[in-house]
Amino acid sequence: ENQVQGRLNVDSARSRAYAAYLQRQHDLFLTKMRQWIPEATVHHRYHVLLNGLALTVPAEKVELLASFPEVVEIFPIVEVFPESASPRARALPPLDVSHTLMGAEELWEAVGGRERAGLGIKIGIVDTGVDFDHPMLQDATLVPPPGFPKTNTSEGLANGKVIVAKVFQSVIDRQANLDARFRTAQDLNGHGTHVASCAAGNLIDLTGFPGARPVVISGVAPKAFLGSYRVCAPRCGLDSLLAGIEEAARDGMDVINISMGAPTNALLDRAAANAVSAGSVVVAAAGNDGPPPAETQNAAGGTVRSPANAQRVIAVGATTNAHQGAAASALGRVRLLEPPPPPELSELLGFRGLNGATPFPETALHAPLRDVDLIDNGVADGGGLACEPLPPGSLVGAIALIQRGQCTFAAKNQNAAMAGAIAVIFYNSEAGGDTFIAPGLGGAPLPALFLQRRTGLALKQFVDINEQAGRPPRVALERLDLPDETIVTLAIEPNHLADFSSRGPASSFAIKPDVVAPGLSSYAAVQDDDPRGDARFPVPPAVERDLQAPVYDPSGFAFRYGTSSAAPRVAGVAALLKQLRPSWTPDEIRSAILTTARRPPQLEARRVMDRGAGLVDMRAVARVLTTVDAPTHSFGAIRVRQTVTRRKTFTVKNHSTQLVTYRLSLAMTNTDPAVTATLNKTTFQVRPGGTGQFTLTLRIAASVAAGDWEGVISVSDDGTTIPGQLSIPFWVRTVR
């Protein structure tokens, strides 16, 4: 009686009665507590997703607070951060490229075309707010649903597109007595504006927008409503983030996107999971901490952050797009002067190094190009990385060609300088692939340029062949002949895992991330009113150091990257699937997105804890009519002293109107005779609207080595309800 169409109805008599009961219990507890801790201050109350309070109490009274029988757990209020990668690369490509990589056109067609994509669906953006005046976030053709718009300020910012304008300020900032103007629903930073536009920004032609790229872009679900919950005002606290998630669930958001996170936090994971139980699909950025080891590594060894850790949340990692772009002022080029190069090497573009002691040269540097591999390793086998001092005088007057990896760019640069080099050309490592970054030089002495891997390897081969033939190549390192503000697009290979994307397992040993989506390259909306971002209002120096870098461009559009940009794309996909299948539950929507994900060769070679189920495939999402109750499964970490057997039963639901015959197969993706997996059946039938089950049995012999083992179950039905096949990955860690 307190649910409507599978969603928690906070206005039902039962819900209101329970909320009133919790309020009374909170009041009784606070009256009792203040007799012993009169200094306690209440900042937030949680009644929907959590039963709790956000308090400040003197540090010496925390132990006393914990002694009250009503107190079950105490969590510190910590700061959380948006999941934008650090600004190593400044620019990346248009949204429409990522749409194509995910196969958006077919899902748009299934819901009536892009002009109807997302219509009637509400996506909550729990972030830094949105820029309500931005043209991507206004739509005069939309009429807010009954009960909207909703606000908790008197600013009147909500519009027909952004139907919620709320702000929640953390106790971290309340205690700092910051400028009252920070308590606004308006996005002062720009991060939330970018995220919102990736999920549901209007279709907009940027031709004629001063400073913008002349392209047509949109969010994944351009006709969806947006709810903005500003939880960074200006800093993001655990208490304000919890309040924003709870309010989004209370407001009935169909999808909630959280492009921020913290190291493993059980309370944050619990709130996000409860939002799923309340009827919202919750999508969260996996994080930008890359592979382990890392400072934020969890107890299971992964780097995925909360709330992406939560089992029923869709945790999203990031992949490369088909292009990267940058302003000409961020780029440089290498021209081979002699001997005559092949056409593909005549001019090579790359990203300039950042924060070096010497600016990138105003005029071209002409010099021999030397492969450091031949100097510090003796052979051109890729083993030379310039991480150790080079022979004195070995690079006098030359430009050094150095591969990325094993040590910092600053260390490589310094070693080249000590050997006499006048500049450095870096090229990407095998792990980094054909992407560009702007390498941080940390004050190192030489100007530098960074090339993608395939270009660097081709240049290396040319240098090595000619060096051995006694024709050392000469090159020119120079700026581009373009105005600084001109945006240049560079082609890269798509669908590679971004090196910054956080990896699993989750702290519970669950498979995370769940899926990946384009996040290395994101051209979308940003705030355009103040380049200072949150620092536009005066703050104490200690607070200013904690502020997030502004996401700003005077054109109102900019390139960004991070799992922050990947997650809202998947939130948009979830919104479209909710529009197409309105009766499906959040778990069924999650199943459809995960089990239909595809694994192109670049991702197939990765482990499941790197890329989850794979790249979101909107073509398959548009057609799938079968869901699985557990779209991935982890058997966890098992200490093996004798033969171990574990079983998992999966339930398959047929959402079609036809009798379906399902076929099953299984493959281990890394094999060992000591680890075997079997299925109890290879075919079974399910009636229309019905369910069926199958069981996976895992046997681990006592002789097994310590390690991680994984496999995948494939489900097909000759195309009746499944386009191609569904994939259900499973994983186990053996411990000796």
Question: pLDDT by residue (tens digit) across 544-580?
Answer: 988 999 999 999 998 888 999 999 999 999 999 999 9
Residue 493: predicted pLDDT = 85
Could you give the CA distance from residue 371 to residue 380 in angstroms, rounded to a whole number?
8
Closest CA to 527 of 124, 129, 83, 91: 129
Between 210 and 118, whose confidence is greater?
A: 118
Does the residue 614 lie in any domain?
no
Same domain, 359 and 482: yes
Does 85 score more than 70 pLDDT? no
CA gap 662, 693 in Å, rounded: 11
| CATH number assigned to the domain comprising residue 376 | 3.50.30.30
Q: Report which of 197, 6, 24 is spatially closest to residue 98, judged by C-alpha positions.
A: 197
Q: What is the structure's pLDDT at 435? A: 86
Q: What is the mean pLDDT of residues 77-87?
A: 72
Total Cβ atoms within 10 A of residue 262: 21
Residue 532 counted as domain residue: yes
Is 606 part of a structural domain of the chain? Answer: no
Q: Does residue 515 lie within any of the structural domains?
A: no
How far apart CA 404 and CA 444 sit, in angstroms, is 15
Average pLDDT, the chain: 93
Name the residue among 549, 513, 380, 522 with its Cα closest to residue 456. Answer: 380
Higher-confidence residue: 484 or 144?
Answer: 144
On whether residue 607 sits in a domain, the answer given is no
Average the pLDDT over each of 71-85, 201-215, 287-301 and give the range with the smallest value.
Answer: 71-85
Dig out the tokens for 207 from the structure: 């031709």
Give yes or no: residues 680 and 699 share one domain: yes
Q: What is the mean pLDDT of the segment spanning 12-37? A: 95
Domain-embedded: residue 708: yes
Return the pLDDT at 302.
97
DSSP-derived secondary structure letter, 193: H
3-state secondary structure (DSSP) of residue 640: coil
Residue 149 pLDDT grade (very low, low, confident, very high; cuts 50, 70, 90): very high
Non-local (6+) Cβ contacts of 215 within 8 A are: 94, 96, 206, 207, 523
Statement to judge: residues 101 and 190 lie in one domain: yes
Residue 314 token pair: 């869709």
SS3 (DSSP) at 430: coil
Quick one: 471 and 587 in the same domain? no
Other CB atoms within 10 Å distance of the CB of residue 383: 11
Where residue 89 sits, what CATH number does that domain have? 3.40.50.200
Domain-ending residue, one of 11, 45, 74: 74
Q: Residue 149: which residues within 8 A CB-CB, separation 6 or more?
A: 158, 159, 162, 163, 164, 165
The verdict on 418 and 465 lying in the same domain is yes
Mean pLDDT, range 483-494, rounded to an integer: 84
3-state secondary structure of 95: helix
Query: Is 135 strand, coil or helix?
Result: helix
For residue 306, give its domain range.
80-322+496-510+522-595
**Burial letters 475-509, b for 16+ CB under 10 A, else e:** bbbbbbeeeeeebebbebebbbbbbbbbbbbbbbb
Peptide bond into 293 cis (omega under 30): yes
pLDDT given at position 97: 65
Mean pLDDT of 397-412: 95
Instruction: Kindly state whether residues 58 and 149 are assigned to the same domain.
Output: no
* Count of domains observed in the chain: 4
Pair 453, 553 in one domain: no
Average pLDDT of the segment spanning 469-481:
95
For residue 90, name the pLDDT band (cuts at 50, 70, 90). Answer: very low
Tell me: the pLDDT tens digits for 163-197? 999 999 999 999 998 999 999 999 999 999 999 99
Residue that terminates a domain, selected from 595, 612, 638: 595
Assigned domain for 107 exists: yes
**Same-domain pairing of 273 and 334:** no
96 and 237 both lie in a single domain = yes
Q: Kindly state whether residues 302 and 380 are assigned to the same domain.
A: no
231 and 309 share one domain? yes
- For 195-232, give the secondary structure using H, E and C: HHHHHHCCCEECCCCCCCCCCEECCCCCCCEEEEEECE
Look at phi and psi of residue 668 and say left if phi exceeds 0, alpha if psi is from -120 to 50, else beta.
Answer: beta
Tens digits of residue pLDDT in 356-376: 999 999 999 999 999 999 887
Domain containing 708 — which CATH number? 2.60.40.2310
* Residues whose CB falls within 8 Å of the CB of residue 178, separated by 6 or more in sequence, listed in order: 234, 537, 539, 543
Do 152 and 242 fall into the same domain? yes
pLDDT beyond 70 at 596: yes
Residue 613 lies in a domain: no
